[in-house]
């Protein structure tokens, strides 16, 4: 599965060192997580965040696979 950088480098150098960006998989997982819990009002409704994180990465993996076709 191809997992290119979503933001390869920052457009500026901070503290004299270029900063690496996040991977496309991480970016997609963050967006999937945000969308999944948007309608939840309380922590009890969200449940275990670790479960949601796993689901978010599964969704990101599916999105990356769909990009290959």
Give the Cα separation of 51 and 69 in Å (integer).
28
pLDDT of residue 46: 63
pTM for this entry: 0.65
Strand partners, 14: 17
3-class DSSP assignment, residue 53: helix
pLDDT of residue 57: 92
Name the phi and psi angles at 15, rounded to 5.
60, 30
Domain boundaries, the chain: 1-69
Q: Is the pLDDT of residue 62 over 90?
A: yes
Query: In the chain, where does DSSP find H-type helix?
Result: 24-37, 43-46, 49-68
| pLDDT, tens digit, 9 for 90 and up, residues 7-54 | 666 556 666 666 667 888 989 999 988 887 776 656 666 666 667 888
Give the Cα separation of 69 and 64 in Å (integer).
10
């Amino acid at each position: 599965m191809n997992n290119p950088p979503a933001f390869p480098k920052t457009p500026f150098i901070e503290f004299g060192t270029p900063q690496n960006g996040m991977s496309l998989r991480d970016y997609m997982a963050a967006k999937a997580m945000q969308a999944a819990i948007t309608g939840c009002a309380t922590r009890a409704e969200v449940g275990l965040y670790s479960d949601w994180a796993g689901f978010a990465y599964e969704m990101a993996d599916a999105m990356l696979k769909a990009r290959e076709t």
